[in-house]
Amino acid sequence: MSKVIRKVYIIRDKQTKAASLGIETEGYWELYAGTSFESINRKTPILTGNGSGIFPLNVSRSIRIYFELAGETERILLAERHLPMAGGYNFRDLGGFETKDGRYTKWGKLFRADELSNLTEDDLKYLSGIPITSVIDFRAQSEVKRSPDHLPDTVRFTYPITITPGNLSNEGIQANLLSTNIDIQMKYMNRLLVSDPPCVRAFRIFFAIIQNNLSAPLIFHCSAGKDRTGMAAALVLYSLGVDEQTIMEDYLSSKIYLSDKYDAFIAKYPRAESIFTVKKMFLQAGVNQIKRDHGSVMDYLTKVLKVDIVRMRRLYLE
C-alpha cells in the first residue's frame, strides 16, 4: 500500500518566530528549503522523518522560506499560510489549496490581511523579501485616515477600492448595539457585498487588477480581514476551482487568527461578538444570494464580475 501524505503544514510562533513542520503520514519523508521555490536545495534535506508529528525547523526567522516535502510516492510544495506578522493578525497566503481537478493554488502570489497600519520594520522587511508588489485596500476613507497603511518599499502599486455595503460599518452597528440583532445585520451585509451595485463594481475592479500579470505578489485587505476581505478571498478561491467546503474552512479560520486581537473586547462586550468574528451563516448568506440571483457562483464571476477563469487559473494555479 502506498504511503500518502494526508496533511502537511508550516506553523510559526507569533512571538518567538520559531517554525515547525506538522505532518500526518505513515511513510518516510524528506523536507527541503529555499528562499523561493526555484532556489530550493533539493540535494540536502533540512529535515527527515518517518510518520506523523510536529517537528521544529531550523530556518530563518526574518525572511520567508519555501519548502518541498518529498514523500515515498509524492512531492508537495508548501509555505506558511499564516504569516508571522508582529503587527498584524489575520495575514494569510492563499497558496496551497487543492482544487477540484487536483491542482493547487500557487504560494506567494495572493495574500489576504487585516489592517497594515501596525506592521513593524521586521514585518516590512519580511514582506519586502517576497517581494510584495501591489496592495488593494477595501477600507472607507475614514478607516484609511484613522489607520493609514504601513507598506514595504517594494510596493509599486496601491489601489484604494472602497467597499462600504449600505450603512453597515462596524461603527454603525456598534452605535445601535443594544437595539440590533447583529447576526441578522451581518448576514444582510454579506448579501449586500455581492448584490449592492457599488460593491459589485468594486469586486469587478478587484478582479481586473489581480488578473494583470504585473500585480502579484499582492495583498488585499480591509480592517479585520474577515468580511470584505473574506468575501474577496472566497470569490478568488471559487474562481480557481477550490471546493466550497474548503473555501468555508478558510473563511472560518479568521476566528482563530483574530482571537488575540478582539477576545478581550468581546469578553467585555459579549453582544458585540458577531462584529468581530466570523460565522458560517455570514458568508453563506452571500453565497446563497449569488446562487438565487445568478444560478451559480461561476456565472456570477464570469457574467457579472467579468472574471476570465482561464487567465485566473493560468496565473494562480500550479
Domain boundaries, the chain: 1-80, 86-316
Instruction: Classify domain 1-80 at the CATH topology level.
Output: Immunoglobulin-like (2.60.40)
pLDDT, residue 247, reads 98
Of the pLDDT bands very low, low, confident and very high (cuts 50, 70, 90), residue 1 is: very low
Instruction: Classify domain 86-316 at the CATH topology level.
Output: Protein-Tyrosine Phosphatase; Chain A (3.90.190)
177-197: string of b/e by CB count within 10 Å (b at 16+)?
A: eeebebeebbbbbbbbbbbbe
Q: What average pLDDT does the structure give for the chain? A: 92
Residue 2 has pLDDT above 70, yes or no: no
- The residue among 53 and 4 whose pLDDT is bigger is 53
DSSP codes, 36-62: SSTT--SSS-SEEEESSEEEEE---SS
C-alpha cell at 247: 473555501
Rounded percentage of the chain residues whose pLDDT exceeds 70: 94
Of the pLDDT bands very low, low, confident and very high (cuts 50, 70, 90), residue 14 is: confident
pLDDT, residue 264, reads 83
Pairwise CA distance, residues 149 & 217, whole Å: 17
pLDDT, residue 5, reads 87
For 265-275, the pLDDT digits (tens) are: 888 888 878 88
C-alpha cell at 63: 525572511
Pairwise CA distance, residues 243 & 237, whole Å: 8
Residue 219 has pLDDT above 70, yes or no: yes
- The residue among 240 and 259 whose pLDDT is bigger is 240
Residue 177 has pLDDT above 80, yes or no: no
Residue 294 has pLDDT above 70, yes or no: yes
pLDDT, residue 269, reads 80
Average pLDDT over residues 15-29: 92
